[in-house]
Homo-oligomer: A and B are copies of this chain.
């Protein structure tokens, strides 16, 4: 259970560090469905969760359209017709495959960053050696200054 039941647009904007413009845009695209008090939008904690999901989706490289598709599908799924349930299961399988791909990509990237970092450090070590050869007399002064 969340602490609050409802949120203003600026509360959500501040909490998740997005502009109100973005939030309104998400509503426009039907990813959020706030109610109204007069003109003013009132966001439920369900909306809040969805916003969180939207942003995570973005970090993972999902488009708003993809995220909306998932939301819609999940809503249909809740209505509990068998066909929808089965469809949802296969979609979930697809998404899992996507996540596997991403995990591979990340692992690859990490490996390459390891070797990149190693090369950097080697190159730095090389430079240090050259420095020493150029000015071996100042060795003591530099050592103490560095600490």
List residues of chain A with CB under 8 Å of any chain B CB.
Answer: 56, 58-61, 74, 77, 80, 82, 85-86, 88-89, 92, 95-96, 99, 101-103, 105-106, 108-110, 113, 116-117, 120-121, 123-124, 126-127
Contact = CB atoms under 8 A, between A and B. Distances in A.
Number of copies: 2
Chain A interface helix/strand/loop/mixed: helix
A83 to B, nearest CB: 11
Contacts of A108: 56
B56 A127 contact: no
Contact of A105 (B60, B89, B105): B60
| Top 3 A-B pairs, shortest CB-CB distance | A61-B61, A56-B105, A85-B120
A82 B127 contact: yes
Given A82-B127, A102-B106, A108-B56, A113 B95 contact: yes
B56 A88 contact: no
Given A60-B102, A101-B59, A77 B120 contact: yes
